[in-house]
A and B are shown apart, each in its own frame.
Chain A
Amino acid sequence: MSTHKAGSAYHNNLVGPVMRAGDLAMAVIEAARIDNPGKQVTVDDKRAYIRIHTEQEMILREETIAEELGRPFHINDLEVDLSSFAGQIESQPGAVRFYFQKTV
């Protein structure tokens, strides 16, 4: 990787969770697709963690994740496997939103 490319890697608008591997991560991938229609969901699996990203904004809703998990789920339980995330975060009633204010 050239130095030039390294220095400009912040030129991206990818937001979304970095999940520990497991069934919750799998449910979040599906929920990201359902809750963000028309957006491309990129999944980068690093084995210990999985980056689940979209451009600029991503919403995850607790009922969608519960449906994908097949069991009751509260949005604040996301934290059990939410190791990190890209973008800013906003806690909403029954949902979480990742976003960037600016577009680069």
Chain B
Amino acid sequence: MALLNRMDWYNLARTTNWTPAYVTEDELFPPELSGGFGLPATAWEGYDEPYKQTYPEYVKVQREKDAGAYSVKAALERSQIFENADPGWKSVMKAHYGAIARGEYAAASAEARMMRFSKAPGMRNMATLGCMDEIRHGQIQLFFPHEHVSKDRQMDWAYKAYDTNEWAMIAARHFFDDIMMTRDAISVSIMLTFSFETGFTNMQFLGLAADAAEAGDHTFANLISSIQTDESRHAQIGGPALKVLIENGLKDEAQKRVDIAVWTAWKLFSVLTGPIMDYYTPLEHRKQSFKEFMEEWIVAQFERALTDLGLDLPWYWDKFIADLNDTHHGMHMGVYYWRPTVWWNPAAGVTPEERNWLEQKYPGWNDTWGKCWDVIIDNVVDGNMALTFPETLPMVCNMCQLPIIGTPGNGWNVQDYPLEYNGRLYHFGSDVDRWVFQQDPARYAGHLNVVDRFLAGMIQPMDLSGALQYMNIAPGECGDDAHNYAWAETYRAMRELKLAS
């Protein structure tokens, strides 16, 4: 039987808007869920999805993708890749699965909101496939780590992380709740699919796949790059929505959503992806630095696409570019310092060879971050382990929920950006975080960051044991140095050599 060419029936098949006779348009598409931006359904019928896929094609292609991913896993299951992996690489996997897997599952609900409530028929089509994509991403990224749970308790956080009040998870939830769980369909298409998925997921799922392939972890490389083939399709949901908004004189509304999502995504990935690429991944397997991956995926690819659609660079562009040299180094040091409060074992990543690499990729590293590490290294070599852990609380940003950091040493620029709102004093890590808050203060004002909660007495007893309990970190799950401080031996030997001479 001859099949019609897809293009001969596609346009007709997606023409699924009708004029409601029994309810009003606002009842069919409640504005708070649909995000009509004051535009009638007819304005959204001009939405033309650029990446077209039909349901039968989808089923065929997805079947092929899954067959590939699962067969690579099955073929390599007995190769002991996990058992033989560098402890730093295991931490990469633990951080990734915990922060990502259940967020993917939640993203299915964001896609479902576009599927039901968008006034654009083409968006409803693409989001139907996108919703199934995200269910796949949730399931497959729980299934793959599961075989390791019996070998390593921290792997259990692939499932558990989102149910806890672990501080990094509070930050992850705050971000995903903001851009995808509590926004109307059109805002989700702009903030989740366009801003986050065409930008940052590429860096996490392809940049990290490049490192994984170098590290010989082909199961992981194959899995996450396969996931990204779904993302590259459904990430296109946002582009045509931006075009509709711009054509209807709503560019400022679109730009504001992009600027908010890009900044808050950047902050989350500076703590998630920055340390794993530049410190945890074994030096010989680092394909590029975090900054180089950011330049490739976010600056050269994403920002170029953004300007092509008629938007402007975010107003904070210069600060963002400058921060590519700094923020994640501070996040890494914070995570390492507070290592009992994460579900992976941070690798210090500061052997002399690694420091040379850091200095080469980030000129000035030794004069700034290196100076703090000199102190930590001395304490480890001297056996003063208590001094390598914190005694005070960090300042935590009321927007990104992450420590307020700046550059130490010769580059000192640490600063709080406070704001008083309705009698409460808020603290922010940058003027951009504060700007995001000011765009919709009522939306964010009620949230307590982890230190606010501590000071409010919600964490008892008010010490590390109380904090671990509050964060659901069971014994055997607490993070510690990935290599059990073996890297410090080089420094011990260097010191003995110096004493002897």
Contacts and interface: CB of A to CB of B under 8 A. Distances in A.
A93 B3 CA distance: 14
A102 B64 CA distance: 36
Contacts of B5: 93
A53 to B, nearest CB: 10
A91 B305 CA distance: 17
Given A18-B206, A84-B232, A86-B304, A10 B299 contact: yes
A18 B325 CA distance: 26
B295 A9 contact: yes
A48 B202 contact: no
B459 to A, nearest CB: 40
Given A84-B232, A87-B305, A100-B308, A7 B321 contact: yes
Contact of A76 (B57, B205, B213): B57
Interface string B370-398: 00000000000000000000000000000
A89 to B, nearest CB: 5
A47 B287 contact: yes
Residue from A77, A81, A84, A92 having most chain B Cβ neighbours under 10 A: A84
A48 B212 contact: yes
B300 A10 contact: yes
A66 interface: no
B317 interface: yes
B147 interface: no
A86 B306 CA distance: 11
Contacts of B259: none
B232 A85 contact: yes
B295 A84 contact: no
A9 B324 CA distance: 13
Contacts of B228: 83-84
B229 A83 contact: yes
Contacts of A92: 7
A37 B191 CA distance: 38
Interface in A51-100: 74, 76-77, 79-93, 100
A12 B300 contact: yes
Contacts of A49: 206, 209-210, 225
A83 B221 CA distance: 12
A46 B210 contact: yes
Interface of A: 1, 3, 6-7, 9-10, 12, 14, 18, 20, 46-49, 74, 76-77, 79-93, 100-102, 104
